[in-house]
Amino acid sequence: MRPSRRHTRSDDRHRDEILGRRLEELDEPQHGPGYWDALEHRLEAARAAAPSSETPEHVSTARKPVRLGGRRAWRLVAAAAAAAAAVAVVALFGLPGVVEKTGPPAVEAEPVVAKALRALASARTLTADYVSREFDRTGSTAVSVERFHIVMRGDGSSRATTILPPDDGDARETAYHFIDTAYDAGTGIHRMYQETRSAESDGRSGMAVSSASKTVGCAIGEPDREQGTTLKFAAFAAALRTARDGRARAADFEGRPAWVVSCRLTATSASPLASDTQPTPPYDRLSVTIDKATGMPVRVRLWSDDILRVERRLENVVVNADLPAHAFRFSPPLGVSFDRRDDGFRLTTLDELRARSGGALLPGALPAGYRLAVAATAARSPSLDRRLQGSSITALRYARGFDALTITTRDVRGLRRPPELDPFLYEWVGAPSRPDEVLLTSGAFAGATARVLVAPLTVPHLWVTRNGTLLTVGGAAGVTELVAIAESMEVER
């Protein structure tokens, strides 16, 4: 069988050929990779899903044509699409006996996101190179770039070391800011070494300034302890949760099979970047790239008006490797000594907390899989920032792999603290302009209005004040889970 050469007659009298030639410059893209394989796959699924009487081999030969825009046709297509999606999910997770295929061009993101969330919840260790880039409003200039080699452990320990560009031997090009920061959750000690060298216009290398600090009594989690980098897996998880209603598509990332889940965003906020004097337009599009083999989210990107504004990515990812004992501590270079400070947090136990006068405010419900990792108290906040001010601070950190939740309470009586003041405010990158407001109906905070904020690249969090006590819940959880935790808070003795 060969295509015929029969032509459709063109009405040349009414054709604008000059314009037509100009329109030759326009083109239509080819299909994405795997399009035809996926199509065959979907046809197979459609044939398998349809009742035998509706397959082409058995369709009635009645003369009445199927009405293409009618409901019956749409039901058939929907059934075929559902079957195809099921096939895609099977392909994605590689069930025994099933040959993995590329899958349809786009599937529902939910199963992909679920796999990524499970990967985060089950990871023990991770090493990777982390790159954070933020662009100006033209999208062409990076106004902020961070590159770190990172090492993380599920208990909250972390190490981040600046990756410096290769030294080309030109002294004028040697300006840099190097930072090495390590937090050992086992001891609660945070170490930091930083070195800054400026470039001089006369061609000589500038002076290097270095310093080191060792902080004991660190806060055990958000909002009191800021991490050394912008990398926060809870924020990655928040991005995943945001994108779960979007679409997923097969892709390659650094030469490895990956999935990209993406969706449109609504009502995101102005979030000034470091070099911008004007507020950033709202982020309106989000994508998360997920490594197919490990399920780890490896890249989060945000756009405004289709211009890429923020990218956070992990490269050279290794999951669950054994780490050396000294992974989260180091000594400064010769000639540099640690400045020592104490942030005032002391590790404690739940029994010690319950034994205090007045008992302890503890959660009665947590999302599945979370276990208490560490508890700590501090007489007052080490921060001068009014959003964190307070006394008699109690902090509880729960962990589930790299997922972590930190619950804090503090006495804010007499501080004239506005209820809308977000203790996590510095986290606002792409956050909604307004947090959700939820009236709590049970627990020690019943009757108070909690504010909940879940947004891409922001640690999901809740805060509420009642009777002079500020409660914060921050970490890898959704709105419903955060509210459930807040409503489960009760005094235990």
Partner 1 sequence: MSPAAHTRTEEIDHAFLAAAQRGDDAAFLAIMRHYDRLLRIVAFHVLRDRQLMDDVLQDVTLRAYRSLRGFRGDAALGTWLSRITYRAACDAVRRNDRCWPVDPEDLERSAAPDGDPAEVLAARTELEEAFAALSAEQRVAVLLVDREGYDYATTARILDIPAGTLASRLSAARSKLRRRLADHPDDEVPR
Binders of partner 1 among residues 133 to 172 (CB under 8 A) are: 135, 138-142
Tell the smallest beta-carbon distance from residue 24 to partner 1 (Å): 5
Smallest distance from the beta carbon of 399 to partner 1, in angstroms?
Answer: 32
Residue with smaller CB distance to partner 1, 6 or 371: 6
Q: How far is the CB of 312 from partner 1 (least distance, A)?
A: 12
- Range list of β-strands (E), 188-246: 189-199, 205-216
Out of 4, 201, 277, 357, point to the residue binding partner 1 (CB under 8 A): 4
Element of type H or E holding 264: strand 256-264
Sign of the CA dihedral running 77, 78, 80, 84: positive
Per CB under 8 A, contacts with partner 1 among 57-96 are 57, 59-61, 63-66, 68-69, 73, 76-77, 80-81
In which residue are the tokens 């650094």 written? 254
Tokens of 480: 């419903």
- Let me know the angle formed at the C-alpha of 379 by 373 and 381, rounded to the nearest 5 degrees: 80
Q: Which of 173, 245, 385, 492 binds partner 1 (CB under 8 A)?
A: 245
The answer to whether residue 113 forms part of the interface with partner 1 (CB under 8 A) is no
What is the crossing angle of helices 71-93 and 110-122, to 10°? 20
What are the tokens at 493? 């003795």
Bond prior to 432 in cis (omega within 30° of 0):
no
Give residue for tokens 């796999």: 115
Pick out residues in 246-285 that bind partner 1 (CB under 8 A). 246-247, 249-253, 260, 262-264, 266, 285
Among 54, 110, 411, 490, binds partner 1 (CB under 8 A): 54
CA of 384: how far to CAs of 183, 357, 378, 380, 417, in Å?
A: 21, 27, 14, 10, 14
* Minimum distance from residue 327 beta carbon to partner 1 (Å): 29
Residue 158: what are its φ and ψ, rounded to 5°? -150, 155
Are 38 and 102 in contact by the 8 Å Cβ rule? The answer is yes
Q: Are 132 and 301 in contact (CB under 8 A)?
A: no
Using CB under 8 A, pick the residue from 51, 56, 97, 165 that binds partner 1. 56
Instruction: Write down the least CB distance from residue 258 to partner 1, Å.
Output: 8
Stretch that binds partner 1, among 55-63, 117-125, 366-374, 431-439 (CB under 8 A): 55-63
**Residues binding partner 1: what is the number (CB under 8 A)?**
89
Calpha distance 170→205 (Å, rounded): 9
Select the residue interacting with partner 1 from 5, 71, 371, 416 (CB under 8 A): 5
Q: By rule CB under 8 A, what string of x and - marks binding of each residue 387-426 to partner 1?
A: ----------------------------------------
Of the pair 78, 98, the CB lying nearest partner 1 is at 78
Contact 327, 125 (CB under 8 A): no
Residues of span 289-318 touching partner 1 by CB under 8 A: 289, 299, 301, 307-308, 311, 313
Q: What residues numbered 430-449 form the site for partner 1, per CB under 8 A?
A: none
Q: Which of residues 8-27 bind partner 1 (CB under 8 A)?
A: 8-12, 14-27
- Separation of alpha carbons 51 and 49, rounded Å: 7
CA dist., res. 180 & res. 187, Å (int): 18
Least distance (Å) from partner 1 to the CB of residue 16? 5
